[in-house]
Amino acid sequence: MESFLIKGGVPLHGEVTISGAKNAALPILAATLLTDEPCVIRRVPDLSDTRFMVQILQSLGATAKFENGTVTVHAKKIRGYADYELVRKMRGSICIAGPLLARLQKARISLPGGCIIGARPINLHLKGFASLGVKTKIEGGYIDATVKKLIGNTMFLGGRAGPTVLGTANVMMAATLADGVTVIESAACEPEVVDLANFLNAMGAQISGAGSPTITITGVKKLHGAEHEVIPDRIEAATFLIAAGATNGEVTLRGARADHLRAVIDKLSEAGVSVERSGADLIARRKGKLKPVDITTLPYSGFPTDVQAQMMSLLVLANGISIITERIFESRFMHVSELARLGADIEIEGPSAIVKGGKPLSGAPVMASDLRASAALVIAGLAAKGATQVNRIYHLDRGYEQMDAKLRKLGARIQRVEEK
């Protein structure tokens, strides 16, 4: 098992190119199952999750090739049964259900896996499918779903923590080939949902309202092949912006979308990290001493839960008390105990973390518990004095393309080593 060995205390300087968004690429790759014609998806990040998705497409009978950031898929003939050993590894694999139901009127998929960051039930996916006429049962760790004919309907997909991103994507894909009109109320507004809708429309779907709480899908008889380029990864971009501030460096992000990062940029500015536009690029640099800020994670366009851990690593360096409240996932503070090993002073009170910042961090061995916690520990290690070893970085490899290589280009002293 591999880990990162980081010798911290070096400000990051230079340029980094932001990869395509994993959370956009996965449902877009799944959407290629909706047509029997070839599709070409560009700027797909080379990650373990995207590799798994390509393998899932192949296991369903599609021809799929991943080369130099481009995935070519031809799902001429497919089956409705997904391989258990592949699906169980990744929560995003659930998004093949919608395309399979639309194309084959049936799907048998094992319950998906992924990071352990709290309850992420699929009840809203099943609720949306039921509104389209789908009958489902869960038995033996599998979801069995069948439908005679998908019929458009109006549905509400809001949940306890807000809209469901993958649920919105799943139902939207299924509805593209349904009879009649489907209206999703309390739909997720994330840029990744918009990117999927743009790809589906390029395939011949009729979708309007993506990016708003109400999405309307008018079903069509058939979808055709299309080409598409995935949007930049806003979470990777946020991670590098925060790393620049935490190390008191200056980093230029190539290809990042400021319009997808407004909440993050606002909180970074409040904390003393400037993010400026320079043409199509973003430049992050520290403006004096870091300041404490309060943050509450919310559905888009609020502050993203996927950036909460990384922001905590920045705020432990700010003089004063910051309060971070997690409203999306109830178990997303597992990185706190590991940050404490580096010298952070953080207390958990219900859904909030009380960050008493300003104490210097010192290197230590730490253990990553999930994808974004991994990134937070890397940032903290970059800012700490001495050596930090981040173990279990297979979590990180699920969502960051060549993070260690990108950081080395910015001057970081980081290398991939075998865990001891």
Taking 90 as the threshold, does the pLDDT of residue 1 lie above it? Answer: no
Specify burial of residue 160 (Cβ count, 10 A radius: 0-12, 13-18, 19+): exposed
Q: Hey, what are 281's tokens?
A: 């690029």
Confidence of residue 113 (pLDDT cuts 50, 70, 90): low
Architecture of domain 22-229: Alpha-beta prism (3.65)
Q: What is the arithmetic mean of pLDDT over 71-82?
A: 94
Taking 70 as the threshold, does the pLDDT of residue 117 lie above it? Answer: no
93 vs 158, which has greater pLDDT?
Answer: 158
119 vs 217, which has greater pLDDT?
Answer: 217
196 Cβ contact partners less than 8 Å away, ≥ 6 residues apart = 24, 27, 28, 31, 169, 172, 173, 210
Assign domain 2-19+232-418 to a CATH class. alpha beta
**Rounded-to-integer distance, Cα 150 and Cα 169, Å:** 16
**Three-state DSSP state, 138:** strand
Q: Tell me: cis bond preceding 301? Omega within 30 of 0 counts.
A: yes
Strands ordered across the beta sheet of 63-67 = 63-67, 70-74, 39-42, 227-229
Active site residue ranges: 115
Q: Does this model's pTM top 0.75? A: yes
Which pLDDT score, from 0 to 100, does residue 138 have?
87
Taking 70 as the threshold, does the pLDDT of residue 114 lie above it? Answer: no
Residues of each domain in the chain carrying CATH 3.65.10.10: 2-19+232-418, 22-229
Confidence of residue 84 (pLDDT cuts 50, 70, 90): confident
pLDDT tens per residue, range 372-395: 999 999 999 999 999 999 999 998
What phi and psi, each to the nearest 5 degrees, are found at residue 195? -65, -40
pLDDT tens per residue, range 410-419: 999 999 999 8
**N- to C-terminal Cα separation, the chain:** 9
Radius of gyration of the CA atoms of the chain, in A:
21
pLDDT tens per residue, range 297-337: 999 999 999 999 999 999 999 999 999 999 997 768 989 99
Name the nearest CA neighbour of 376 among 308, 305, 306, 310.
310
